[in-house]
Structures are given as C-alpha cells and as structure tokens.
Structure 1
C-alpha cells in the first residue's frame, strides 16, 4: 500500500525531523581515564559538565550527549581513539586531551575531518604553531607559557645558572625551552638540560648529577603521579636545602596532598591559583566542591569548565545549530571568557591570552603571591592563519 503525503504534511515532517536531529549536540571526551593522568582527565570532565549543569543541563537550548574514550596517554593509539569518536560515534565536538603527544594526533584527526576540537589541557606548542587551525581551540595554555613566566621570575631573584629536568617528551621540552628563553633573555644561563623517558620515575641518577653541577636553581616540568615522586625524591635527596626548585604549576596542582611536606614552600607559575578570592572564582570553587567533593577545584577543573564556556559562546551565536561551523568557530574565537582564573580572550591561533600567577605551596593550596606576567600571549611561531 502506498503512503501519500501532501506537500504541507511532508514539509511539516521534514521540519520536525530537522528539529529532532539538531536538538542534541554530541560531545566526545578523549581523555586519560587510567594511568598517571587519570585524575586529571576526570577533573576536566567534571569541570566541563559543571558548566553545562549551571546552564540547566543544556547549551544554547540543546541537549548534550557525551561519548568517552580513554586515550591511555598513548600517542600511538591517538589516531585510532580519535576515529572511534569521529567516525563511529559521529561527535560534533571533540574535547581532549592531557598528554601533548596524544593531542598532536587528535589535532590531526580533527583537521582531517573538519571537526571542532577544544583542548582542555595539552599544551603542545605546535597546535597553536604550525598546526594551528580555525577549528582548533585551547582552554588551557601552551607549554611555552608557564615556563616562560618562571624564567623571568628566576632571573629577578638573581639566579645566574640553572639546570632543567623533565620527561623526554613534547610538553617537557617546550616548557623547559620557554623557561630557558626567558631566563637567558634576562641574563641567566641554562647549563644543563636533563631528561628521562616518559613515564619513568627513576630520578636518583639525575638528582646526583644536579648535586655535582651545583646550579643556582633547578626548573622542572612534571605532572600527575610522576610529579609526586619527583617532589618527594628531590626533598629526600637534600637538594632543596642548597638548590631551590622552581616549576611549571603542574608540579603541584591537584596533587599537593599526595606530595605532603616535601612540597611546602615550592614556587610555581601557572594561569590559575588557589585563593584568588574573586566572586567568580569563589562561586566556581564552592559549586565544584559541592558537586565533586572527591577532587579539588584545581586548574584541570577550570580548564574543563572553560572549554564548555568557549563552546557555549559558539553555540549561542548560531542558536545551537552545529552545522553552521564557520559562524560558530568565529564566535568561539572572538569570545571573552569569564573564567574563574580571570577574564581572557583567545589569540588568533586559538590559545588563551592570560595572566600567569606566581604561586607558593602552603598546606594543600597553591596560593597566589602575585602575577608573574600579565596577559601573556603564546608567540604562535609557525602559525599561518
């Protein structure tokens, strides 16, 4: 039997169908849910979902559907995991990740498929450099930024020689390169760059080498479980008594409790700090703690929260129609984000232009003791946008 539709009925059916199709925005989280960065991935997801919850569970009137993939902090699995979200789940928006090596694979997959990507942590310089793209945004930082901010601080403290130490991967190299650029521009000299394979935590041979070199200061980049071990080993070696330790804020953020007494007094630079005591930050911290009491309201949570804010700016501009990619991305790029860290805008390359705080570890908090650099923009070297 044939079913005959009038023109009006068919038009109505198509409108209803289109309305249904656009009523849900599919978000794909590609984050570490296991291994050394597992708590970081969870904090990012928590922050993102908190902002959505504050908007009544929708963005621009659209329901949100979430898909999750554990990226295992494994760059070799990056393309496969990204394609599970892009080709299998057909997500509209990608959110990920923490590990810079994995993020590079994710950025390539996003570019190849023209999928909008928001990076809530990984600071790989190339993503806002040679790989920059109008469909890629970052709610966090470039690896260069916190290192560069600390280089100036070290020089102002009168240190003349430094050793840098990190894992032998992109995030570590770029963070220590940022420190070196700023430190040497201000009259200092990095005399040795020490590395070990990720996620190796056998630090003792390198600590012995630092003791032999006797630099004025050490700058380091570690994060997650490896950072806890490094901070404890550095203190246990006795080096803290003779060689001050400075770091990108990821050395202590979210893990101060685990680091215990060994971390007390450590100075770090980051785009967020505890105790900012602004109305915006206080409200965020109270809401986050209420919803997720098992994890602190740290920088990872803020970056997840702001990833949702950046997306909301784009969706609001197109009334929730994710098919209007050009207009949505232009709105995301031009947005002013009212972040708990302080208001920021994105650079042309999609990276936050933001203040970097000098923080001191006190108890279980990384307390701001001033601003190391105001409105620091990543140089976006190699970006052709």
Structure 2
C-alpha cells in the first residue's frame, strides 16, 4: 500500500513539474504574441497641442510604412494628455508605468514635464524616448541607460544661433524667453556661443510660461537698442511674439534671430510678420534629399498637412525604437540588448543621418534657415555634427 501511495505521489509530482515546464516554455511565446504597448504622453490640449499632434502623426507614419508593425510585432498605443503641466507630470506618467504597464514611453514637448517623466522612467527602468523636450538634464545630470532623445538638447539650437549671431558681427544682444527650463537653457547656449565669438549679452528678459503679454518687454528692447535680439518661444506663444515684435516696429530696426521653434509649425499664423526671420535648427523644410522628399510627400498624402520639425522628431522616435526591436526580434524583455543597439544607432533621418552621443542625444547638423513664404528655407549650415556636451551625465 505504501509503495502504491509513493508511486502515486511521484506521478503527481512529475505531472506538476511537467505542467510547470510547459508553462515556462509557453509563457514567452504568449508574451511575444501580445502587442507592444507604447505609451504616448504628449500635449493634446493647451499651448502645445498642435505640436503633440504632429509628433504622434510622425511616429505613426513610420509604423505605417513598416506595415503597421515593428520587428513583426503589433503596437498598442496608450495615450495620456500631459497638459503641459509639470505639477501633474509624475501622476500622469505613473498611469502609463504602473496602471497600463507600457513597454516604452514616448514623450513629451514641455521640458518641465519631460524632466518628471525621465525621473519616473529612470526609477522604474522603463524605456523612454523623448521626441521633443530639450531639457539639458535629460541627457545630462539626469541621464540613464534607458532614456534616449531623438530631438535636441536645449543647448544645441541656442548655441548654433549664437554662432550665427557672432559670425554676422553683432556685438550687443538681448534675449527674451519664457522663464522655464527650455527657455533658460536655450538662452544659455546662445550666450555661450555668442560671447565666445566676441559678443556680449547685455540683458536677459523673461516672462512666466505661458504668458504672452510682451508689450513691456518690447518697450525695453526699443529703449536699449541692442544690435540683435535672440528669442525662444514655441507654439501659440511664438505666433504672438513674432506678430507683436513686428507691430511694435522692431522688425525694421533691430534684427530678430531665434531658435527654429520660433517659426516652425507657426508660419501660416504668423503671416507677413515672420518673413525674412533667421533661425537655426536641426531641420528645414527644403532639405533636398531623397529621404526628406519621400518623408514629406508621404506625410502630406497621409495627413493632408506639411510636416514640420515635430513630425520629423516623432518619425525618428519610431525609427529609433525599431532599431532596438529589430535587434531583439521584437522581444521587449531583452531590454539590455535593445539599449545596446539603440546606443549604436545610425538613423537615416529626413534631417540627415545622425548618431547618438554617449549620453543618448542626437549628434547632428544645425541649419541656418530663412522664412520665405510658408517655408523655413535652409540657406546654409550653422554647425556641423553638433554634439551636446552632456554635462553632469554619469552612466
């Protein structure tokens, strides 16, 4: 009897072990069959809503070009409106990380929001791709192996515009921006390059985000009479600033230079006031390459819109994710191998080919652009292969 009982017990144990073995083998197969969850945390309301919309359109366009899949895997998009509000950012990103268990986060536009997102991504180990926000700390002091950016650091367009201003021979400059991370860091980049080139920033003007009451500051610019003004604004704020600058009569007397976001995605609304403005950015509408022409044509046909820098950055965020996924044949559990491939990525972008800096920020050309009609026309290169210094990054 005891022998028979022992046999039954051994048989039961064997069946449990066999079932466990089958489960262990089957589980990854089941996981591989599930869609990859992509969390889109972007501004869908407020000042930057149009920018968030273009980023998503660009991202989806690249996925559509791959037959609706990346590395053979379907994608499931989970969307959260970041509201361009840093105070709500941690709660909003944790909806994606903890509630929705996304595999990758894509976002955002506002630098203050992106910094909170990056902290949460760093703590949780969630893969994050930033398709716009240029906060220097994201690829500087707050860098992490799992955080990448496909746009720029705030320092980069500011620095490249400072190079151009110095080359034009301007000696006295004033700067104007919103008093938040993107504005302040862009101005620092401009000041670094401009003063390195022999100029001097005599006054930095700021106003709270998203305030657009510029009149008092424009009056101060008129009184100081600098050789040039450098401005950083984006979205609806950029539209109003450019129109107000022109209406105040300053466009005719004091040259205005800007980070390219001053005129990107805003030209139709700015109208005649924007004509002739010089900016620098890592993209321009008329980059005449097969890659950019194909991108612009496909985007226009798909969405009945001309793409802008935001659409391009979203498109390249999907490209970078595809590099990582292709390296692991779509197995998102192999995160280390994905990251290793993304670090070495050479992205064939509409802006021109770029690589990743050691801090995971694009090393890329910055173009001189002039507003002509409804286009930011590239007239030259401000700085070739400009790499952000990644100050404070340890990883």
Which residue of structure 2 aligns with residue 233 of structure 1?
Answer: 244
- Which whole-Å deviations, capped at 9, do the CAs of 1:285-334 have from their partners, x for residues lacking one? 011111111x4210000100000111111111111111111111010111
Unaligned runs of 5+ in 2: 1-11
User: In structure 2, how many angstroms separate the alpha carbons of the residues matched to 1:160 and 1:13?
Assistant: 71
2:151 counterpart of 1:144: no
2:295 counterpart of 1:284: yes
Which residue of structure 2 aligns with residue 342 of structure 1?
Answer: 352
Which residue of structure 2 aligns with residue 246 of structure 1?
Answer: 257
Instruction: Give secondary structure in 2 for the equivalent of 1:240.
Output: coil
2:106 counterpart of 1:106: no
Which residue of structure 2 aligns with residue 82 of structure 1?
Answer: 93
User: In structure 2, how many angstroms separate the alpha carbons of the residues matched to 1:287 and 1:296?
Assistant: 10
User: In structure 1, how many angstroms separate the alpha carbons of the residues matched to 2:297 and 2:19?
Assistant: 51
Question: What is the TM-score of this pair, normalised by structure 1?
Answer: 0.97
Instruction: Give secondary structure in 2 for the equivalent of 1:36.
Output: coil
Per-residue deviation, 1:109: 0.4
User: In structure 2, how many angstroms separate the alpha carbons of the residues matched to 1:178 and 1:77?
Assistant: 28
- CA 1:161–1:84 in structure 2 vs 1: closer, same or farther (change >3 Å)? same
**Which of 132, 152, 156 is equivalent to 2:167?**
156
**Which of 369, 378, 394 is equivalent to 1:368?**
378
Per-residue deviation, 1:87: 0.3
Which residue of structure 1 aligns with residue 8 of structure 2?
Answer: none
Instruction: Give secondary structure in 2 for the equivalent of 1:22.
Output: helix
2:179 counterpart of 1:179: no
Instruction: Give secondary structure in 1 for the equivalent of 2:94.
Output: helix
- Which whole-Å deviations, capped at 9, do the CAs of 1:39-58 have from their partners, x for residues lacking one? 10010011111111111111
Question: What is the TM-score of this pair, normalised by structure 2?
Answer: 0.94
What is the Cα-based RMSD across aligned positions, in Å? 1.4
Runs of 4+ in structure 1 deviating by more than 2 angstroms, as ranges, are 4-18
Which residue of structure 2 aligns with residue 266 of structure 1?
Answer: 277
User: In structure 2, how many angstroms separate the alpha carbons of the residues matched to 1:358 and 1:67?
Assistant: 37
Per-residue deviation, 1:9: 7.3
2:216 counterpart of 1:193: no
2:78 counterpart of 1:73: no
User: In structure 1, how many angstroms separate the alpha carbons of the residues matched to 2:258 and 2:134?
Assistant: 15
- Which whole-Å deviations, capped at 9, do the CAs of 1:220-272 have from their partners, x for residues lacking one? 00000000000000000000111000000000101100110000000000000
User: In structure 1, how many angstroms separate the alpha carbons of the residues matched to 2:117 and 2:169?
Assistant: 41
Instruction: Give secondary structure in 2 for the equivalent of 1:165.
Output: strand
User: In structure 2, how many angstroms separate the alpha carbons of the residues matched to 1:289 and 1:296?
Assistant: 5
Unaligned runs of 5+ in 1: none
Which residue of structure 2 aligns with residue 26 of structure 1?
Answer: 37
User: In structure 2, how many angstroms separate the alpha carbons of the residues matched to 1:374 and 1:263?
Assistant: 26
Which residue of structure 2 aligns with residue 255 of structure 1?
Answer: 266
The 5-angstrom pairing of residues 193-232 of structure 1 reads 193-232=204-243
Per-residue deviation, 1:277: 1.2
Instruction: Give secondary structure in 2 for the equivalent of 1:35.
Output: coil
Alpha-carbon contact 1:101-1:170 (below 8 Å) kept:
yes
2:338 counterpart of 1:328: yes
User: In structure 2, how many angstroms separate the alpha carbons of the residues matched to 1:126 and 1:250?
Assistant: 20
Which residue of structure 2 aligns with residue 129 of structure 1?
Answer: 140
- Which whole-Å deviations, capped at 9, do the CAs of 1:156-197 have from their partners, x for residues lacking one? 111000000000000000001100000000000000000000
Which residue of structure 1 aligns with residue 5 of structure 2?
Answer: none
Which residue of structure 2 aligns with residue 308 of structure 1?
Answer: 318
Alpha-carbon contact 1:355-1:373 (below 8 Å) kept:
yes
**Which of 291, 299, 311 is equivalent to 2:309?**
299
**Which of 61, 77, 87 is equivalent to 1:50?**
61
- Which whole-Å deviations, capped at 9, do the CAs of 1:98-149 have from their partners, x for residues lacking one? 0000000000000010000000000000111100110000000000000100
User: In structure 1, how many angstroms separate the alpha carbons of the residues matched to 2:177 and 2:15?
Assistant: 68
2:382 counterpart of 1:377: no
